[in-house]
Structure 1
């Protein structure tokens, strides 16, 4: 095997270890804070806010990571690249935690009706189009395809527009969970996500204005 081939193999193996480690980290943190107790009555069910949020927010985050990683590949703007790196790293870690919780609860990482756990009509359905499984703020396949075709400042502007809307949708989901989750660790994570994304929306709006762009309509 060549040196390059050996290096690629090591990188692939390392990425696999990191991916598994993130899921295990989620489970480990869950044990430390008491999630997944032996008391079956206390374990979140598949239709609970805790499980629904963990499933849907993990998938929501994964699209955010996809867009952030695309910005790391395509953008040459240092500020946009730093923002994208922070989003990718933070949300990848949080996905690992949420999927770890689901595994510990004996629940699948996907399935169920999208957003059904948000039983407040004003938030779960009022103005939010969940047709096709899209959650609040998520980009459509057409929007992602358009983003991949752009470059330079046009790319940066559209990336910021899509990510602002994405964060706004995720913020609503997180705020609802912070108020309704039964597991303290889930409520704490949701509160952290809501606060972080609100702060990042402010930052991205400033960046967008500086680059001559305007936000998309809020989800």
Structure 2
């Protein structure tokens, strides 16, 4: 079948569907090779999640120095390793796309939440991020107190991260980035269940 016939058949199918009152299907997403715009959801998610992940890595390294508990240290290592690797991927995509790692857009603008998030919240730029005061408390805590505070802060952090990742699954156009975001949702929801159990074992719970 020639290309002309294929196109004609495709056009006829659309015409027939419209004639029958059916709504046309959704427009296809841009291809993965297309360069996202600097104000796109793809670029916004990459920038914001890189910042979000950096704090998770920071908190995980802090708690590894504040406790000898192997369960907590293993969890902290896993989170730090995973999120550091993912952060590298996100920043690498920005480089690949020729986009800046920081922009004039406020955090979460790509999700329509910019009006809710600003640096006035004691350094908490995005959903779930710990404040400067909370980070200072974690740095000073030791043993069980440090473990509980870390688990509570990381629980909030993961909930915020899941919310952002779901936003990318819905709004991002680059398939590989959507796939990464979808994987983040699954992994962090699993870790949320583990952290709830670790808190319960310590006679505590999420905040």
Q: Which runs of 5+ in 1 are unaligned?
A: 1-33
Note if 1:174 corresponds to 2:165: yes
* Correspondence for 1:202 among 193, 199, 203: 193
Higher helix residue share: 1
Conserved? CA contact 1:55–1:98, under 8 Å: yes
Q: Distance in 2 between matches of 1:135 and 1:180?
A: 18
Per-residue deviation, 1:72: 1.6
Q: 2:203 is matched with which residue?
A: 212
Q: Deviations over 1:36-92 (max 9, x none)?
A: x4xxxx210111110000000000000000001112221111000000000000000
Q: Distance in 2 between matches of 1:204 and 1:43?
A: 38
Q: 1:74 is matched with which residue?
A: 66
SS of the equivalent of 2:109 reads: coil
Q: Distance in 2 between matches of 1:113 and 1:131?
A: 8
TM-score, length-scaled by structure 2: 0.80
Q: Distance in 1 between matches of 2:96 and 2:77?
A: 29
Note if 1:146 corresponds to 2:137: yes
Per-residue deviation, 1:129: 4.4
- State how 1:1-219 maps to structure 2 within 5 Å: 35=32, 37=33, 42-111=34-103, 112-119=105-112, 124=113, 129-132=116-119, 134-216=125-207
TM-score, length-scaled by structure 1: 0.75
SS of the equivalent of 2:111 reads: coil
Conserved? CA contact 1:129–1:136, under 8 Å: no
SS of the equivalent of 1:108 reads: coil
**Aligned structure 1 segments of 4 or more residues deviating by more than 6 angstroms:** none
Conserved? CA contact 2:63–2:138, under 8 Å: no
Q: Distance in 2 between matches of 1:211 and 1:79?
A: 12
Conserved? CA contact 1:48–1:117, under 8 Å: yes
Which structure is larger by alpha-carbon Rg, 1 or 2? 2
Question: For this pair of structures, how many residues does the alignment match?
Answer: 172
Q: Distance in 2 between matches of 1:129 and 1:70?
A: 28
Q: What is the root-mean-square deviation of aligned Cα atoms in Å?
A: 1.5
Q: Distance in 2 between matches of 1:98 and 1:92?
A: 10
Q: Which runs of 5+ in 2 are unaligned?
A: 1-30
Conserved? CA contact 1:49–1:118, under 8 Å: yes
Q: Distance in 2 between matches of 1:152 and 1:89?
A: 22
Per-residue deviation, 1:214: 2.0
